[in-house]
């Protein structure tokens, strides 16, 4: 994709606002948001996780088509997760997340096996989508996508608290910060770390099992690049049917 054309497209995306989106599309965002919120309230991740048989043995087709430099991304190796929650604790400390809020979560499901039920854990965070529904629906441009890094960020002073972006998020990874009077979300620790010279997110650094792999998807030397582009590894994303094109990828240790 031509960088100049991409910049113009991204600018138009940021400035689109909720009023210019067709009514039917806004309704689909609303239905999507209500469905996901209900699913998470029930404590299951079944509807947001791609079924394994639909997973891809190659990276999603859009990988490499967006000219971010660096192109920040994360891979989660789900079967390494033991639900120790050290990642969540590190996120809270680093980004000053209030007790009622979240920037990352770990969901659980139980699967019946030959020797009884087995617990599986699924870490979820903002997927830093390449085509983010939250950016499209924000009426005040309080949520934007950085054209250089691809990170979806919040501008708290522009947020009016309408919570439309929360409804539009396919992953339920936004919450309303009562103290700031603005919506908050994961920004890959941009404000607290990366913008100050840091190289890794707090959650990835804190994980003792190496579940969260953070890095530059545009750098062939990075671990993220090597995992996502490994032809022998099965890679998938959450809710591909939304067309949001996430920058958070999932895999399993035994599948690559």
pLDDT, tens only, 185-196: 999 999 999 999
pLDDT, tens only, 210-224: 999 999 999 999 999
Helix (H) or strand (E) holding 117: strand 116-125
> Sign of the C-alpha dihedral, residues 122, 127, 133, 137?
positive
Residue 100, CB-side half-sphere exposure with 13 Å CA sphere: 6
With beta carbons less than 8 A apart as the criterion, state whether 117 and 131 touch: no
Residue 31: how many other CB atoms lie within 10 Å? 11
Q: Is 223 left (phi over 0), alpha (psi -120 to 50) or beta?
A: alpha
DSSP-assigned letter for residue 51:
P
**In this structure, which topology does domain 3-255 adopt according to CATH?**
Alpha-Beta Plaits (3.30.70)
Range 18-27 contact pairs with CB under 8 angstroms and sequence separation of 24 or more: 18/136, 18/137, 18/138, 18/139, 18/164, 19/139, 21/136, 21/137, 26/137
Measure the CA angle with vertex 197, ends 196 and 202; round to 5°.
Answer: 80
Residue 242: how many other CB atoms lie within 10 Å? 22
> Is the pLDDT assigned to residue 179 strictly greater than 70?
yes
Of the candidates 62, 33, 60, 29, which has an alpha carbon nearest to the alpha carbon of residue 48?
A: 33
- Size of the chain, expressed as the number of residues it contains: 256
Of the candidates 222, 216, 78, which has an alpha carbon nearest to the alpha carbon of residue 151?
A: 216
Domain spans in the chain, listed from the N-terminal domain onward: 3-255
Q: Is 83 left (phi over 0), alpha (psi -120 to 50) or beta?
A: left
With beta carbons less than 8 A apart as the criterion, state whether 233 and 255 touch: yes
Band of residue 65 on the pLDDT scale cut at 50, 70, 90: confident
With beta carbons less than 8 A apart as the criterion, state whether 152 and 143 touch: yes
With beta carbons less than 8 A apart as the criterion, state whether 181 and 142 touch: no
pLDDT at 29: 47
Q: What is the pTM of this model?
A: 0.79
pLDDT, tens only, 80-138: 999 999 999 999 999 999 999 999 999 998 887 788 888 889 999 999 999 999 999 99
């Amino acid at each position: 994709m031509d960088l100049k054309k991409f910049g113009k497209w991204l600018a138009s995306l940021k400035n689109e606002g909720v009023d210019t989106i067709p009514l039917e599309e806004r309704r689909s965002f609303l239905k999507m948001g209500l469905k996901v919120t209900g699913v998470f309230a029930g404590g299951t991740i079944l509807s947001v996780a791609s079924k394994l048989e639909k997973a891809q043995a190659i990276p999603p087709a859009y990988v490499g088509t967006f000219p971010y430099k660096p192109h920040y991304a994360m891979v989660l190796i789900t079967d390494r997760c033991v639900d120790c929650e050290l990642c969540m604790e590190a996120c809270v400390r680093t980004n000053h997340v209030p007790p009622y809020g979240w920037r990352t979560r770990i969901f659980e499901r139980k699967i019946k096996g030959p020797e009884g039920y087995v617990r599986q854990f699924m870490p979820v965070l903002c997927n830093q989508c390449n085509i983010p529904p939250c950016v499209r629906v924000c009426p005040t441009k309080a949520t934007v996508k950085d054209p250089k890094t691809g990170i979806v960020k919040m501008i708290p002073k522009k947020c009016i608290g309408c919570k439309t972006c929360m409804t539009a998020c396919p992953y339920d990874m936004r919450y309303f910060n009562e103290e700031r009077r603005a919506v908050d979300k994961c920004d890959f620790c941009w404000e607290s770390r990366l913008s100050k010279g840091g190289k890794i997110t707090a959650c990835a650094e804190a994980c003792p099992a190496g579940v969260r792999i953070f890095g530059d998807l545009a750098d062939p030397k990075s671990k993220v690049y090597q995992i996502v582009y490994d032809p022998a590894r099965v890679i998938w994303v959450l809710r591909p049917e939304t067309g949001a094109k996430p920058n958070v990828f999932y895999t399993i240790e035994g599948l690559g």
